[in-house]
Amino acid sequence: MRYELYYWPGIQGRGEYVRLALEDAGAPYVDVARVPEKEGGGVAAMTRLLDGADTRRPPFAPPFLMAGRQLIGQTANILLFLGSRLDLAPRDAAGKLWAHQLQLTIADFLTEVHDTHHPLGPHLYYEQQRPAAKRRAKAFLAQRLPKFLDYFERVLRANAASGPGIVGARISYVDLSLAQVVAGLRYAFPSASRAALANCPRQCALHDEVFARPRLKRYLKSERRLPFNNDDLFRRYPELDG
Amino acid sequence: MRYELYYWPGIQGRGEYVRLALEDAGAPYVDVARVPEKEGGGVAAMTRLLDGADTRRPPFAPPFLMAGRQLIGQTANILLFLGSRLDLAPRDAAGKLWAHQLQLTIADFLTEVHDTHHPLGPHLYYEQQRPAAKRRAKAFLAQRLPKFLDYFERVLRANAASGPGIVGARISYVDLSLAQVVAGLRYAFPSASRAALANCPRQCALHDEVFARPRLKRYLKSERRLPFNNDDLFRRYPELDG
């Protein structure tokens, strides 16, 4: 099975959580919007599926995945689907549901990260909403960031007897996502995340373990891994870094 | 199986999407936080599970559901679990995933609805962020509301040959949720939603069909259905209504 991933070509964004799972599993895939348009790729190919009248089950937004003839949207839903196929999820039904629940909590966390630089909505540039962003970011760093990190640290601690990751005996797609969140926080909020992560040794260790996995190590050195940048979900604006 | 639902006792909120599924299926359940504390209920019972050191798989936030010994959090995840058990979801794996994808899109929609009155974050009262809320609500009503409604209308239209709802041949939990969204929009934005829903005859019809289902009709008349109010996700602030 050769998967087709559709996501904005210039950012890691939410697509990165899917890329990390595909890369870690060594699954063959095409990052379609990064293929030149004249070869059938580009954003045009993505838009065709999003808006096409003949798309039977259209996603609302990228990322989405084509697996054979099945088109699947919503990051956490894609990972729910891929988790079993790529052997990156618990094998029992209750474990799968629990992993998915954690992934949905990561999704909520990411929405709040995004809102730090776009509290007034996606229709304005950051520069048009900077005072509001400062207020939102301040509250995020003071209250929400530690709340989320404490939660994940607690869940990691509770699973420590079973495995190296957050659920079950083996590394799962949730671990890959959580490691990516740690990397993103360090990029966006170098100062505030240093302080917050000082209380989260398990998340720091998980980050290192995940990105030391042979396939992910190679991926990070490849051109397929886009750099963090300020068009992305995690953005580095020093004035927002507490 | 007698389910235990845990959610804030004074609002419909995200718990309502779970309540509607349980009520429509006639499933026995207890709304634990609405049971008096001296009978083992109340917010205290909810907090015990959220913060309890012996909670094996703690949810991050309400709502959550106890089904036997399984504790399940995240609204869409609870509905993914209940959908099959309550016969409110497609029976094939691809259909289940598609229904869940739509539910996650509804969850994103709800987050944006919430952000109209709390753009600067949950730590401030609405009255402390009214100018920002006005800007955010204006953009939401102009751009995001029609985008979401158009999307769901399109998906309903595409499924019209198969069934009365948005997926498959029968009414699903996604339909119950979408009907609740229509009701919420009408409460929060009576003027703007009237204009927006004028282009969405299928969502209006679905709303009427869902709330005319015998069990839901009885539920709406019961004391178990809490009224919309301004501590909730959908809030009526006339100054935000376009």
Q: In this predicted model, what pLDDT tens digit does every residue of B78-127 receive, in sequence order? A: 999 999 999 999 999 999 999 999 999 999 999 999 999 999 999 999 99
Mutation test of the interface with chain B: which of A64, A103, A135, A172, choosing the one with the most B Cβ atoms within 10 A?
A135
Please tell me which of the candidates A74, A101, A104 has its beta carbon nearest to residue B105.
A74
- How high is the mean pLDDT of chain A? 97
Measured CA to CA, the distance from residue B78 to residue B97 in angstroms comes to 14
Measured CA to CA, the distance from residue B35 to residue B4 in angstroms comes to 11
SS3 at position B31: strand
Measured CA to CA, the distance from residue A31 to residue A5 in angstroms comes to 5
Number of Cβ within a 10 Å radius of residue A113: 22
Please tell me which of the candidates B101, B119, B123 has its beta carbon nearest to residue A73.
B101
Measured CA to CA, the distance from residue A160 to residue A99 in angstroms comes to 15
Cβ contacts (< 8 Å) between B76 and chain A: which residues?
Answer: 104
N- to C-terminal Cα separation, chain A: 46
Cβ contacts (< 8 Å) between B60 and chain A: which residues?
Answer: 105, 108, 148, 151
| Domain boundaries along the sequence of chain B | 3-85, 93-225
Orientation angle between helical segments B201-211 and B214-221, nearest 10 degrees: 80
Q: Do B135 and A151 touch (CB under 8 A)?
A: no
Q: Which residues are CB-neighbours of B125 under 8 A, at least 6 positions away? A: none
Q: Which residues are CB-neighbours of A168 under 8 A, at least 6 positions away? A: A90, A95, A99, A159, A162
Q: Which residues are CB-neighbours of B47 under 8 A, at least 6 positions away? A: none
What is the mean predicted confidence (pLDDT) over B199-228? Answer: 98
Picking from A181, A180, A152, A182, the residue whose alpha carbon sits closest to that of residue A167 is A152
**Sign of the alpha-carbon torsion through B179, B184, B185, B191:** positive
Question: What does the pLDDT look like over B48-64, one tens digit per residue?
Answer: 999 988 899 999 999 99
Measured CA to CA, the distance from residue A122 to residue B144 in angstroms comes to 9
Q: Do A121 and B140 touch (CB under 8 A)?
A: yes
Give the chain A residue whose CA is nearest to the CA of B58.
A155
Give the chain A residue whose CA is nearest to the CA of B50.
A151
- Residue A37's pLDDT is 95
- Residue A42's pLDDT is 97
Q: Do B155 and A58 touch (CB under 8 A)?
A: yes
Q: Residue A142 carries which DSSP code?
A: I
Which 172-231 residues of chain A touch chain B by CB within 8 A? none
Cβ contacts (< 8 Å) between B108 and chain A: which residues?
Answer: 60
Taking CA atoms, A238 is separated from A117, B43, B207, B239, in Å, by 11, 40, 47, 34
**Does the CB of A84 have a partner CB in chain B at under 8 Å?**
no
Cβ contacts (< 8 Å) between B140 and chain A: which residues?
Answer: 121
Question: What does the pLDDT look like over B161-188, one tens digit per residue?
Answer: 999 999 999 999 999 999 999 999 999 9
CATH 3.20.20.70 holds for B3-85: no
- Residue B1's pLDDT is 86
Q: Do A135 and B121 touch (CB under 8 A)?
A: yes
What is the mean predicted confidence (pLDDT) over A216-227? Answer: 98
SS3 at position B4: strand
Q: Do A120 and B140 touch (CB under 8 A)?
A: no
Architecture category of domain B93-225 in CATH: Up-down Bundle (1.20)
Question: What does the pLDDT look like over A133-181, one tens digit per residue?
Answer: 999 999 999 999 999 999 999 999 999 999 999 999 999 999 999 999 9
Q: What is the distance in angstroms between the Cα of A151 and the nearest Cα belonging to chain B?
A: 7
* Burial (Cβ within 10 Å: 0-12, 13-18, ≥19) of residue B83: buried
CATH 1.10.645.10 holds for A93-233: no
Cβ contacts (< 8 Å) between B161 and chain A: which residues?
Answer: none
Give the chain B residue whose CA is nearest to the CA of A73.
B101
Residue that has been written with the tokens 């509607």 in this structure: B20
- Residue B111's pLDDT is 98
Measured CA to CA, the distance from residue A53 to residue A58 in angstroms comes to 9
